[in-house]
Amino acid sequence: MATHDKNDLTRREFVASTGAAVLAVTYAHVQGARAETGDTPKRPNLVVLVTDDQRWDAMSCTGNRFIKTPNMDRLAEEGVLFENHFCTTSICMAGRATIFTGMYTRNHGVDDFSLPLPEARYAHSYPARLREAGYRMGFIGKWGLGGALPKDRFDFFEGFTGQGRYFREIDGKTVHLTRLMGDQIIEFLEGSSADQPFCLSVSFKAPHVQDSDPRQYLYDPAFEGLYADVTMPTPKTAAPKYFEVLPEFIRKSEGRTRWKTRFPTPEKFQESLKGYYRLIAGVDMALGRLLDALEGLGLDNKTVIVFTSDNGLYLGAHGLAGKWLMHEESIRLPLIVRDPRLPKNMQGRRRDEMTLSIDIAPTLLDMAGLDRPPCMQGRSLGPLLERRGVDWRQEWFYEHHFTAGGRIPESEGIRTRTWKYIRYINQEPLHEELYDLKHDPLEEHNLARDPNHQGKLNALRERWRIWHAHLAAFDPDAPTPWTDPGT
């Protein structure tokens, strides 16, 4: 196993200000337009890195004035930043199954921590399809699904079950998990061959809390001084008046229970948020090591990097912690795709289309020159990366059905570019929320009972019914490909 070298330790001051999650990818069908040196492979290497609970604004390139993320910012400068990227279910096991399969939760079936990915779904996942196509497959980190670890389905496997632990004893020394995963990334890259393309998936535990530890955010001690002299601002909607207007079933839900652990006092809020940002700094350090290793091995111009997370996080907004519900803090994620084969005038761009976690698997297959299976419900991001004109989605469906024994309310909804409809499906009486995101981006004013907005409410109710029925009727094992309702 690789160990930390002297060069890694000298990067601390630079690396201590960083954060996010990454997915690295390249695709074949545009190689002629992108190759400036003429040596771009027909089947590029793919590296997929995913953080846990990182929301879209936990990086400086998306406007956060407090967090420092130089390596992620570098990705945005050299790639394409997707400013409106979302998960379709905000919880880790469902979100990771969605990333693997490109499918909505109700269709891949993983809506509980105990459930493995069904064999029929795994057969069409990007790890399975790419291995069939001859890729050297690697996986590092949090597997996130139930069942036995699939060690025999990867050529290099350093995954773990459950949440994992942040600190491990190795050769008599205590090592932070994120730093160890950085070592494993280097080990995988150094074992690769120029004669075989590879796909490496890295699934970080960071910046997730350690649920069983009262300190919650257990960061690498190397980052102890980071943000020490900064007072982090509290979210506007953390004020009691925003929590008090929520229905009782949300005020008594798991999100409020966890708020009492993470954000009950101003002092605990500062401790938790700084710990969260410091965990992201550790991920950014691993990202920096990845970038250096790709360059040192001559792979940097053959590997595209895509950066994302599995779901967002409240961080005290609306008086809540955790995720699960459909507010923006919970569902909106980072996504950056850095393809070094893009011409310089196509790097450093931003796209505002609504991209989804279901888009990652079809994008990876597209980059490898493979057809999208009919069961995949996402779309390749290739046309958006290439700046081609494309008729992109204008709405999408959200669902969350894991209840944690009744502590999390089930919800579904519709998100358009400017409106959001939320439906708590098992509540009696029915509770709905309607937000005008253009004029109310913080979701302060629920318009569902406003007589001036009943037309919009009824229209989005109908869209919910259509999507619900369409998803329920879809057969992933049939040869008929998925199409979004109304397209």
Check: CB of residue 331 under 8 Å from CB of residue 311. yes
Query: What is the structure's pLDDT at 36?
Result: 37
Residue 41 reports pLDDT greater than 50: no
Cβ–Cβ under 8 Å, residues 268 and 277: no
pLDDT for residue 33 is more than 60: no
pLDDT at 166 over 60: yes
Residue 294 has pLDDT above 90, yes or no: yes
What pLDDT shows up at residue 160? Answer: 97
Cα separation, 273 vs 230, in Å, equals 11
pLDDT at residue 40 greater than cutoff 90: no
- Summarize pLDDT for 422-444 with one digit per residue, the tens: 999 999 999 999 999 999 999 99
Fold observed for domain 6-394: Alkaline Phosphatase, subunit A (3.40.720)
3-state secondary structure of 133: coil
**Looking at residue 486, what is its pLDDT?**
72
How many residues are given for the chain? Answer: 487
> C-alpha distances in angstroms, 197 versus 29, 56, 135?
16, 30, 5
Model confidence at 19: pLDDT above 50: no
Q: Which residues of 9-43 are buried (b: 16+ CB within 10 A; e: fewer)?
A: eeeeeebbbbbbbbbbbbbbebbeebeeeeebeeb
Distance CA 19, CA 286 (A): 9
Neighbouring C-beta atoms of residue 404, cutoff 10 Å: 14
Predicted confidence at residue 389, as pLDDT, reads 75
Looking at residues 307-336, what average pLDDT do you find?
97
Q: What is the largest CA-CA distance in the chain?
A: 67
Is 70 exceeded by the pLDDT of residue 1?
A: no
Residue 168 predicted with pLDDT over 90: yes
Q: What is the pLDDT of residue 214?
A: 87
CA dihedral 95, 96, 100, 106 (to 10 degrees): -40
Please indicate, yes or no, whether the overall pTM of this predicted structure exceeds 0.85: yes
3-state secondary structure the chain: CCCCCHHHHHCHHHHCCCCCCCEECCCCCCHHHHCCCCCCCCCCEEEEEEECCCCCCCCHHHCCCCCCCHHHHHHHHHCEEEEEEECCCCCHHHHHHHHHHCCCHHHHCCCCCCCCCCHHHHCCCHHHHHHHCCCEEEEEEECCCCCCCCHHHCCEEEEECCCCCCEEEECCEEEEHHHHHHHHHHHHHHCCCCCCCEEEEEECCCCCCCCCCCCCCCCCHHHCCCCCCCCCCCCHHHCHHHHHCCCHHHHCCHHHHHHHHHCCCHHHHHHHHHHHHHHHHHHHHHHHHHHHHHHHCCCHHHEEEEEEECCCCCCCHHHCCCCCCCCHHHHEECEEEECCCCCHHHCCEEEEEEEEHHHHHHHHHHHCCCCCCCCCCCCCCHHHHCCCCCCCCCEEEEEECCCCCCCCCCEEEEEECCEEEEEECCCCCCEEEEEECCCCCCCCCCCCCCHHHHHHHHHHHHHHHHHHHHHHHCCCCCCCCCCCCCC
Q: Is the pLDDT of residue 6 over 60?
A: no
Please, which residues have CB within 8 angstroms of residue 27's CB and are 6 or more apart in sequence?
A: 44, 304, 339, 363, 366, 367, 368, 369, 382
The answer to whether the beta carbons of residues 29 and 382 sit under 8 Å apart is yes
Domain 410-476 matching CATH 3.40.50.2300: the answer reads no
Report the pLDDT value the prediction gives residue 221, as an integer from 0 to 100: 97
Residue 275 has pLDDT above 90, yes or no: yes
Work out the average pLDDT over 297-314.
Answer: 94
Read off the pLDDT of residues 61-106 as tens digits, 9 standing for 90 and up.
999 999 999 999 999 999 999 999 999 999 999 999 999 999 999 9
Q: Is the per-residue pLDDT at 12 higher than 50?
A: no
How high is the pLDDT of residue 256?
96
pLDDT for 7 beyond 50: no
**Of the listed ranges 2-6, 145-149, 380-384, the one predicted with least confidence:** 2-6
Mean pLDDT along residues 346-361: 96
Q: For the residues 30-39, what does the mean pLDDT come to?
A: 38
Percentage with pLDDT > 70 across the chain: 91
Position 308 scores a pLDDT of 98
Give the phi and the psi of residue 32 in degrees, each rounded to 5: -65, -40
Instruction: Give the pLDDT score at 387.
Output: 76
Provide the mean pLDDT of the chain. Answer: 91
pLDDT tens-digit profile of 208-254?
999 889 889 999 999 999 999 999 999 999 999 999 999 999 999 99
137 close to 156: Cβ distance less than 8 angstroms: yes
Which of 367, 386, 197 is closest to 299 using CA atoms? 197
pLDDT of the residue at 304: 86
pLDDT on residue 300? 92
Q: State the pLDDT at residue 215.
A: 87
CA dihedral 392, 200, 8, 209 (to 10 degrees): 70
Tell me what pLDDT residue 212 has: 84
Q: Which residues contact 36 (CB under 8 A, 6 or more apart)?
A: 341, 343
Domain boundaries, the chain: 6-394, 410-476
